[in-house]
Amino acid sequence: MNIDGCTAIVTGGNRGIGEGFVDELLAQNARRVYVAARSLADAQAAAARDPRLVAIELDVTDDAAVAAAAAACPDVDLLINNAGAFGMTTLLSAPDMTAMRAEIATNYLGMVAMVRAFAPILKANGGGAVVNVLSAGGIVAVPNMGGYSPSKFAARAASDCLRAELAPQGTHVAALIVGSVDTRMAAHVTWVEKTSPRDIGKAGLLAARHNIPEHDTDVHAVSVRAHLARDPSGLAKAMAKSLNPAAR
């Protein structure tokens, strides 16, 4: 995947990690970047700073909106699935399953919907790549992340399936294992060092460029992976303590 001269679409591209991807794509000389957001006004505000940016209104949980985005972006050869939902609740303490359904719909089903819609476009444009922004909560179950952690487990498994399905058309699928990042979604996290969104974007484009199937993007993600390999039961106990922050 050659980033220089590519045409990308970034879901949730108006802030956080999505904005980091947009910044890095511009720095690496992308030809065009579609900045997708649920609010067209938010997408337009994010896209106003550079003529290479194009605003797209897109809710990845809406099949019609996904189809419309694919029709509007026929030149894409790099798909960045970044849009995410985090309900900040647990599986049992949530008043109902609304937040969990939103997390599954966005983080897993929405990602798959985007790949299904853009796979023919990527094929027509030479193969290209898909980058799925996942989480360290997708390799280790985090009880206080409710439906978010399970949704990222599902997205990780789907990334493996999609990689196998898309390989014959020359489309690479990279799964990013992301730790704590300095974004609004992680504002409540105060006990680990946070990585900048721009650095996650840089790591994601590296994974696309070098055909890396699964990439730990930051120090926190690497440490979680190492702890999982070294002491899985100890890590599970540590994650259980996340239900009681005072116990850390």
pLDDT digits (tens, 9 = 90+) for 108-151: 999 999 999 999 999 999 999 999 999 999 999 999 888 999 99
Say if residue 85's pLDDT is above 90.
Answer: yes
Distance CA(5)–CA(2), nearest Å, equals 7
Confirm if 184 and 140 have CB atoms less than 8 A apart.
no
Q: What pLDDT band is residue 184 in, cutting at 50, 70 and 90?
A: low
Distance CA(123)–CA(35), nearest Å, equals 21
Q: What domains does the chain contain, in order, with CATH numbers?
A: 7-221 (3.40.50.720)
Question: Which of 1-10, 69-78, 238-247 bottoms out in mean pLDDT, i.e. has the lowest?
Answer: 238-247
Say if residue 247's pLDDT is above 60.
Answer: no
Average pLDDT for 73-92 = 96
Give how far Cα 208 sits from Cα of 128, 143, 145, Å.
8, 31, 28
Query: Tokens for 14?
Result: 């108006």
Q: According to the model, what pLDDT value does residue 211 have?
A: 97
How distant is the alpha carbon of residue 179 from its chain centre? 12
Question: Which of 28-42, 48-62, 152-166, 182-196 bottoms out in mean pLDDT, i.e. has the lowest?
Answer: 182-196
Distance CA(91)–CA(145), nearest Å, equals 8
Q: Which residues pair with 172 in a beta bridge?
A: 129
Question: Which of 26-35, 109-118, 216-225 bottoms out in mean pLDDT, i.e. has the lowest?
Answer: 216-225
Say if residue 190's pLDDT is above 60.
Answer: no
**Who wins on pLDDT, 248 or 143?**
143
Average pLDDT for 175-186 = 77
Q: What percent of the chain has pLDDT over 70?
A: 93
Average pLDDT, the chain: 93
Cβ-based neighbour number of residue 188 at 10 Å:
10
Q: What pLDDT band is residue 241 in, cutting at 50, 70 and 90?
A: confident
Q: According to the model, what pLDDT value does residue 248 have?
A: 44
